[in-house]
Amino acid sequence: MRENFKGGKAVFTVAPFPIKCGGAPQKIAYLSDDTWRKNGVREKTEIRFMAATPVMFPPSPYYNTHLTETAKSKGFKISLKHQLVKVDKDNRKAYFRNLDDEAGDLVELDYDFLHICPNQKPHEFISESVFAAANGYFDVDMNLLHNKTYTNVFSLGDSANL
């Protein structure tokens, strides 16, 4: 747990698109940073933010700019277009594919703390139903949250196509 962390290399990941909440991986990084500052171990901690996405905070350019500045001001080392592809938990190594590297060479990082944001996709029971949008998520009217075809059926949260 981050409360018991004594310092070292902390790695936070962001999965490739689609992402239902672009801020979730950053929230845990900021909360961890704050906890480690309060616990007196932040000075002994290197925070790496490894995102498969091309920007730190999709889809908003406004928030992306400000959150990137915030992360940098806190000393986060940011690597964009780096997708987590393998974890060797016994040796505490995480492997990332640099999505800009045509050779496909993996970047190996040692870690003492690893937070993984998993790949996200729609639930199969929704994507195969009459309620699904073309991308597999529940097809909703963005303002009313009811299905666009069946207006007496509603959806919200990560399953909704928002």
Q: Is there a single domain that holds both residue 107 and residue 135? A: no
Q: Per the structure, how many domains does the chain have?
A: 2
Angle between helices 61-73 and 24-38 (to 10 degrees): 20
pLDDT tens string 88-137:
999 999 999 999 988 878 999 999 999 998 888 899 999 999 999 999 99
Mean pLDDT, rounded, for 16-43: 90
pLDDT tens string 62-76:
888 999 999 999 999
Q: Is there a single domain that holds both residue 87 and residue 40? A: yes
Before 59, cis peptide (omega within 30)? yes
pLDDT higher than 90, residue 49: yes
Q: Is there a single domain that holds both residue 148 and residue 100? A: no
Q: Is there a single domain that holds both residue 98 and residue 33? A: yes
Can you give the residue range of the structural domain that contains 162?
121-162
Q: Is there a single domain that holds both residue 138 and residue 77? A: no
